[in-house]
Amino acid sequence: MVYIKLTGDNMKTALITGASKGIGSAIAVAFAQQGYAVALNYNNSKDRAENLADVICQSYNVPALAVKCDISDFNEVTEMFKIVKENFGGADVLVNNAGISCQSLFTDITPEQWRNMLGVNLDGVFYCCKSALPYMIEKKSGAIINISSMWGQVGASCEVHYSAAKAGIIGLTKALAKEVAPSGIRVNCIAPGVVMTDMMSSFSQEDLNELKEETPLQKLGTPKNIADAAVFLASSKADFITGQVLGVNGGFVI
């Protein structure tokens, strides 16, 4: 755990799940650049998360906290939010980014693989939203940003369990946005396209080139593209936006 003292009473806190690498780490840095205190959730990548927290503290002069938690376990999520409350008071912004992916024929997906995919990618979002809302409701403000996927919008062959989980995030976003809007809380969703992260490591260069050609903008996304969208949705510039799905996919899905 890495922590430095708050620099001001009005500083807001952003909690990002799956923040040790890829899209999550880019989102954490983007919020730190905006002056947020950041809580970085990780499950397995302790060194990477704590190193990132150190870099954020030193580079942007904001508090940073690395917290281990398996978001598919409600008890661990509850403990994580307890730690965030003790150190920062609570999370003003929650970015549900943590997720796993797997390519497999539907007929080869085992019940265990199905349960694991939904446990991390969908149950985790539910658990984190449930734990974040009491603080936000009390303050009558807050922003929740859920990271889905363009495959949650249109489905992907050989990724049925992944597509189902990401589609569930979209449904959760739309319904929750309506429910908590009277409390001044906004809930939105980002649906990334093909973004160059560790999840793409199994793809050959030929596959990546094909995906690039299929993308109308003729390029693949970067973690920063998603981070910039997250910061926008959390900002006052988006204060009349809730229950929406923002596609950041280079035109791949329209």
C-alpha pair distances (Å), 178 with each of 29, 93, 188: 30, 17, 11
Task: Provide the 3-class DSSP secondary structure of residue 4.
Answer: coil
Cα–Cα dist 211/194, whole Å: 8
> Which residue do the tokens 């002069």 mark?
61
Q: For residue 18, give the nearest of 223, 235, 229, 243 by alpha carbon.
A: 223
Spot the catalytic one: 36, 127, 135, 162.
Answer: 162
Distant-in-sequence, close-in-space partners of 227: CB < 8 Å, separation ≥ 6? 23, 26, 27, 29, 30
Instruction: Give the Cα-Cα-Cα angle 132, 94, 50 (nearest 5 degrees).
Output: 105
Rounded to an integer, what distance in angstroms lies between the CA atom of residue 124 and that of residue 101?
14
**C-beta separation of 98 from 71 below 8 A:** yes
What SS3 state is found at 242? coil
135 labelled catalytic: no
Residue 241 corresponds to which tokens in the numbers above?
Answer: 């936006």
In whole angstroms, what separates CA 108 from the centre of its chain? 28
The one-letter code for the residue type at 156 is: A
Catalytic residue numbers, as ranges:
162
